[in-house]
Amino acid sequence: MHSKQRFQWAMLAPVILLLTGLTVFPIGYTILNSFTDYYYLASESKQFIGFANYIKVIQDEVFLKAVWNTVKFMVLAVTAEIALGLGMAVLVESLKRGLKILRISLLLPSLLPPVTVALIWQMMLSNHNGIINHLLSYFGRGPFNFLMDIHTAFYAVLFIDIWQWTPFAFLLIYAALQAVPKLQYDAAKVDGAGRGRIFLHITLPNIMPSLMMVILLRTIDTFRLFDKVNILTGGGPANSTTTITQYIYRHGVYNLQIGYGAAASMIMVLLVLTFSIFYIKRSIGGSGHDMRY
């Protein structure tokens, strides 16, 4: 080995060791555990059971419900957050005054930890003392048991997530809007293009890489939805708000069924990859639009 190569390997070694220790080993260990009946408090009697955990997970109605809830949540939350974030960004960008105050106040929800957000909304949505029901009562409506009614619980959690993360989408899209060359707008105006055409043919193509990045980040993040559901509904009523992460937590963490939880986790990883592969391919391959973040 040449001295230059030796030097390169010496420089790379710490990173490789770190990655192996913090990423490769945990993933490998999780995969191995997923083929065992590993129960943490009886780890001495751990046995290899092949694909039994995977079969059990896939056959479990609660898991299938959790997958459905998670996917539904992801599609609705990401769509709404992107649409609202884009709308807010375009609106704010067109304003001439009060920009700073508006930008800061719009960002406030996303600065709060998810647990705090869940607790605040739990108080506000309370059907006995909550301010939302008090407001509704002025209009002769309610009280609604938002978090314990099977018709509303899922949408209440969805609404809270949109409330918290739309500002994040707004921030990235707004930053992208700032970078659109003004010359392109001027040229379009000279050519007589209307607002709609300018938005479709100039704004949108320019901010597309940022939009894709926001979609990717929010897709991955919504898949990990846990705190809000665990605090607000506990997965109920009737599993209408159970998510995959909550399912994994219940089995793998609370009940210490590490093997079973690992199998469910591996299935979740595959699902996240399936949903993210399109974005990741674009990101790595650089086809279409460059990902600049």
Partner 1 sequence: MKKNVFILISFVIVASILAGCQSKGADKLVVAARGGSHVTAMEAVKEAFEKEHNVQVEIIGLEAADLKQKISLDAKNKNGAYDLIMADDPWMPEFSEAGIFANLSKLGVTEDADFEASSLALGKHPYGTGELYALPFSGNVQLFFYNKQLLDKHNYEVPQSWEEVLSMAKTIHEQDGVAGYVIRGQQGNPIVSDFLPIFWAYGGQVFDDNWNAQIDSEAGKKALNTYIELLAVGANYETTDIVSSLATSQAAMALGWPSWFITGEEASAEYSPVPAQAADGAEAFATGMIGNWMMGVTANSKTPELAAEFLTFITSSEVQKQMVEHGGVPTRKSVYLDSELSAKYKHFPVQLEALENSVARPRTPLWSRVEEALGTELSAAIAGTKTVEAALSAANQEINQIMK
> What is the closest distance, in whole angstroms, from the C-beta atom of residue 52 to partner 1 in the complex?
13
Nearest one of 93, 117, 116 to 103, comparing CA atoms = 93
CB of 131 to partner 1, least distance (A): 14
For the window 134-153, what string marks contact with partner 1 as x by the rule CB under 8 A? -----------x-xxxx---
Chain-centre distance for alpha carbon 12: 32
The yes or no reply on residue 55 touching partner 1 (CB under 8 A) is: no
Q: How far apart are CA 121 and CA 262, in angstroms?
A: 32
Does 234 engage in binding with partner 1 (CB under 8 A)?
A: yes
Q: How far is the CB of 237 from partner 1 (least distance, A)?
A: 4
Site for partner 1 contains 246 (CB under 8 A): no
Q: Does 110 bind partner 1 (CB under 8 A)?
A: no
- Close Cβ partners of 264 (under 8 Å, ≥ 6 residues apart): 53, 57, 63, 244, 247, 248, 251, 252
Amino acid at 152: T
Amino acid, single-letter form, for residue 108: L
Residue 44 CB, nearest approach to partner 1 (Å)? 10
Choosing from 20, 23, 79, 255, the residue that interacts with partner 1 (CB under 8 A) is: 255
* Cβ 130 to partner 1 shortest distance, Å: 9
Contact range with partner 1 by CB under 8 A, out of 9-17, 46-54, 205-213, 237-245: 237-245
| Interacting positions 182-201 with partner 1 (CB under 8 A) | none
d(CA 137, CA 139): 5
Centre a 10 Å sphere on the Cβ of residue 132 and count the other Cβ atoms it contains: 18
Does 237 bind partner 1 (CB under 8 A)? Our answer is yes
Residue 151, token pair as written in the block: 């018709």
Sole binder of partner 1 in the list 135, 179, 238, 280 (CB under 8 A) = 238
Q: Is 287 helix (H, G, I), strand (E, B) or coil?
A: coil
Smallest separation, CB 141 to partner 1 (Å): 16
Cβ atoms of residues 136 and 142 within 8 Å: yes
Identify the bridge partners of residue 36 per DSSP, sorted by sequence position. Answer: 48
Planar angle of CA 23, 26, 31, nearest 5 degrees: 120
Query: Contact region for partner 1 (CB under 8 A) — 81-89, 98-106, 126-134, 189-197?
Result: 126-134
Minimum CB–partner distance for residue 55 and partner 1 (Å)? 14
Looking at 76-84, 97-105, 161-169, 254-262, which segment touches partner 1 (CB under 8 A)? 254-262
Task: Please work out, in degrees rounded to the nearest 5, the angle formed at the alpha carbon of residue 173 by the alpha carbons of 293 and 271.
Answer: 65
Picking from 4, 5, 39, the residue whose alpha carbon sits closest to that of residue 255 is: 39
CB nearer to partner 1: give 78 or 153: 153
Q: Return residues touching partner 1 (CB under 8 A).
A: 40-43, 62, 122, 126-129, 145, 147-150, 233-240, 250, 253-256
